[in-house]
Structure 1
C-alpha cells in the first residue's frame, strides 16, 4: 500500500556489537581499496609520461595506415566500379545485324583478293625484273665472265634467282674452269652477290715458247707468255694426258713448300720402270721416282735434302738412296767395259763353235758317201749273181 504523507518515520533498530564491527571493517576495506586505486592511477600516469613519444609515433602510424587503407579501399571501389560499368556496357551491347555479320565473313576474302591484286600489279611492273648482281672473291676470272656464266635473263623475275639459286650456281661451275665453289646471296630488295673461290694453278705445260696453266682440278685454261709466269713454277713434260692428270692430282696434295721446290717433271726413259719420272728441283738436286709411287715417296725428299752436301741424285725407284752424277758416270763406264769384254768373249766362242760344227758336218758327209758306195756295190753283186 502507498505510504501516507502524514505517517511518522519508523525507528531504526539498534545495531548489535558484531554488526557495528562488521560495518567498520567494510568501511576500512573500502578505504584501502580507494587508496590502492589512487596509487595505481598515479603509477599509470607516470608510466604513460615515460612512453609518451612511442605512443605518439604509434598513433601516427596507425593513423597513416588507416589513411592508406582508406585510399586503397577507395581505389578498389573505383576500379570495381569501372569493371562493373564495362560489364554492364558489354551486357548492354546490341546484337550484330545480318549486314555486320556478312561484312565480317567477307573480310578474309576481301584481304586475299587485295593481296592477289597487289602481287599481280607487282609482277606486271618493271620492278619485279630488276636484278643488281655483283661478284666477289675472283682473282683470275673476269667479273663480267662470271655474271654471264650465271645465264640470268632480263625477263627472269628476281625471286626466280632466290627460288632456283642452285641452278644458277651450277651454270657458273660448269662454264668457268677457274671456279671451285660459288654462293649466290640475296640482299633486299633486288641485290644479289656472287661469291666464288678459285682453283690453284698447279703446273704448266710448254709448247713452242707458250705456256698453258693446269689447275688443281686438272682443267687447262688459256695460254700465257713466259713474262706472265710466277717466280717459281712447275713445268710438266709428259705426253699422255692420263699421266698428266694423275701427276696433277698428286701435286695438289703436296705441301706448298715441297711443290714450290719442283722445277720440271719428265719421263726418265727407264727400261725397267716404264712410269719412272725425272724431277729437277729448284735447289739443283735430281729425283727419280715412279709416277705410281710419287704421292707416297716424294714427301721424304724434305728430310733427305738437309743431309746432302752437294748436288745429288735421289733415286726412289727401288727403295731410297742418294748418289751423284760423277758416281753414276763411273759406274756406267765400268759397266760398258764389262759389257764389251763379255761381247768379245762371246763372239770368239761363237766362231769356235761354228768351226767345230763345220768339221762335224764334213765328217758326216764323208761317212754318208762311203755308206752309199757300199750299198751300190752290194746291189750290183746281187744282180750279177742272178
Structure 2
C-alpha cells in the first residue's frame, strides 16, 4: 500500500511542470512567428532595394544581330526589378527582329536576365542598285541590312527578280550540308520556256553547274562525286537537272582524229 502511494504524483507536483511545458511551447511559437515576420520584412526590404534590380542582360545564340541591338529591343534595364521582368513579353519584343526565328528568356541568379535566340540562317545575298542584302532561309530579304560587298558566308543570288523563285531557292539552300554550300560562289536564275526553274551555279573550285531549283538540295549532292572523277585540266559544265553528267567546254577536249593519231604514234613507237 505504501509503494502504491509513492507511485502516485500529486497534482501540486504536476502543475509546475505543465506550466513550464506550456511556456516552452509558447516560446517556440513566438520564435516561429517572429522568424516568419522577419523573413517577410526582409523580402519586402529586398524587393524595394537596388539588390532586387537586374544586374545584367545576357544574349545567347546570336551571330549576326548584335547584343546591344537585342538588349535595346528587350526594353530590360538595370532599373527593372529582377523578379518582375515578364519573360514572355520580353521574348515577344525580341522576336520582332526579322533575323530572329525564336526567342526565350530565363532568370539566372543572382540577377541576370538571359535572352536565348535562334537566328534565321543566311543562305545568300542579292545585289540591288550596287548594294548587297542578306537573304534568310525563309526567303525574306533584309532591306534594312545594306552591305557594300557580300560577307562570303553564303552564295550570291543573281537575277532572282521574282519572290516565288527566290523563296524556293532559299529553302533549297537551307537544306544543304555546309560542306557543299561553302563551295557555291554565285547562283543565277536563268528561266526558259521549258524550265522556268533553271539555275546556273559557279563554284569556288572553278566548275559550272546547270540545274533546277526544284529538288536542288538533293541533286547537288552528286557534285562532289562527279568532280572527284575529273582531271585537273577538265573544265566544263556539270549537269544535275536531268541525270548527272559532265560536259566539257568546246575546245577543251582534244579532237577525236588528233587523239587517234596520238594513239597510233604511240603504238608505232612501241
**TM-score normalised by the chain length of structure 1:** 0.51
Alignment of 1:337-376 (within 5 A): none
Using the TM superposition, give the Cα deviation of residue 120 of structure 1 relative to its aligned residue in structure 2, in angstroms. Answer: 2.5
Q: What 5-or-longer segments of structure 1 have no aligned partner?
A: 1-90, 328-386
Partner of 1:314: 238
Q: In 2, Cα distance between the equivalents of 1:132 and 1:321?
A: 57
Q: In 1, Cα distance between the equivalents of 2:30 and 2:107?
A: 40
Partner of 1:216: 137
Partner of 2:112: 191
Q: Which moved more, 1:150-159 or 1:262-271?
A: 150-159
Q: Which has the higher contact order (CA 8 A, sep 6+)?
A: 2
Alignment partner of 1:322: what SS? strand
Contact map agreement 1:150 1:172 (CA 8 A) in 2: yes
Contact map agreement 1:206 1:235 (CA 8 A) in 2: yes
Using the TM superposition, give the Cα deviation of residue 212 of structure 1 relative to its aligned residue in structure 2, in angstroms. Answer: 0.7
Q: Compared with structure 1, are the counterparts of its residues 300 and 205 closer, same or farther at alpha carbon in structure 2 (3 Å cutoff)?
A: same
Deviations 1:46-84 (A, max 9, x none): xxxxxxxxxxxxxxxxxxxxxxxxxxxxxxxxxxxxxxx
Alignment partner of 1:119: what SS? helix
Q: Compared with structure 1, are the counterparts of its residues 247 and 184 closer, same or farther at alpha carbon in structure 2 (3 Å cutoff)?
A: same
Q: In 2, Cα distance between the equivalents of 1:147 and 1:179?
A: 16
Contact map agreement 1:133 1:193 (CA 8 A) in 2: yes
1:122 partnered with 2:43: no
Alignment partner of 1:323: what SS? strand
Partner of 2:227: 305
Q: Compared with structure 1, are the counterparts of its residues 176 and 97 closer, same or farther at alpha carbon in structure 2 (3 Å cutoff)?
A: farther
1:268 to 183, 187, 190: 190
Contact map agreement 2:105 2:113 (CA 8 A) in 1: no
Q: Give RMSD over aligned pairs.
A: 3.4
Alignment of 1:45-124 (within 5 A): 94-96=17-19, 100=23, 105=29, 108-124=32-48
Q: Compared with structure 1, are the counterparts of its residues 103 and 233 closer, same or farther at alpha carbon in structure 2 (3 Å cutoff)?
A: same
Q: Compared with structure 1, are the counterparts of its residues 201 and 231 closer, same or farther at alpha carbon in structure 2 (3 Å cutoff)?
A: closer
Alignment partner of 2:96: what SS? helix
Alignment partner of 2:126: what SS? strand
Deviations 1:114-138 (A, max 9, x none): 4333333333333333432244554
Q: In 1, Cα distance between the equivalents of 2:215 and 2:97?
A: 34
1:206 partnered with 2:133: no
Using the TM superposition, give the Cα deviation of residue 205 of structure 1 relative to its aligned residue in structure 2, in angstroms. Answer: 0.1
1:258 to 157, 180, 189: 180
Q: Compared with structure 1, are the counterparts of its residues 322 and 105 closer, same or farther at alpha carbon in structure 2 (3 Å cutoff)?
A: closer
Contact map agreement 2:133 2:141 (CA 8 A) in 1: yes
1:225 partnered with 2:145: no
Using the TM superposition, give the Cα deviation of residue 176 of structure 1 relative to its aligned residue in structure 2, in angstroms. Answer: 5.9
Using the TM superposition, give the Cα deviation of residue 264 of structure 1 relative to its aligned residue in structure 2, in angstroms. Answer: 1.7
- Structure with the largest fraction of helix: 1
Alignment partner of 1:224: what SS? coil
Deviations 1:99-157 (A, max 9, x none): 83655555544443443333333333333334322445544322211211222256632
Q: Compared with structure 1, are the counterparts of its residues 257 and 119 closer, same or farther at alpha carbon in structure 2 (3 Å cutoff)?
A: closer
Q: Compared with structure 1, are the counterparts of its residues 169 and 257 closer, same or farther at alpha carbon in structure 2 (3 Å cutoff)?
A: same
1:235 to 151, 157, 177: 157
**Greater Rg over alpha carbons, structure:** 1
Q: In 1, Cα distance between the equivalents of 2:121 and 2:29?
A: 65
Q: What 5-or-longer segments of structure 2 have no aligned partner?
A: 1-13, 252-270
Alignment partner of 1:204: what SS? strand
Alignment partner of 2:215: what SS? helix
Q: In 1, Cα distance between the equivalents of 2:29 and 2:206?
A: 90
Q: Compared with structure 1, are the counterparts of its residues 182 and 277 closer, same or farther at alpha carbon in structure 2 (3 Å cutoff)?
A: same
Alignment partner of 2:124: what SS? strand
1:291 partnered with 2:210: no
Using the TM superposition, give the Cα deviation of residue 204 of structure 1 relative to its aligned residue in structure 2, in angstroms. Answer: 0.5
Using the TM superposition, give the Cα deviation of residue 206 of structure 1 relative to its aligned residue in structure 2, in angstroms. Answer: 0.5
**TM-score normalised by the chain length of structure 2:** 0.70
Alignment partner of 1:175: what SS? coil
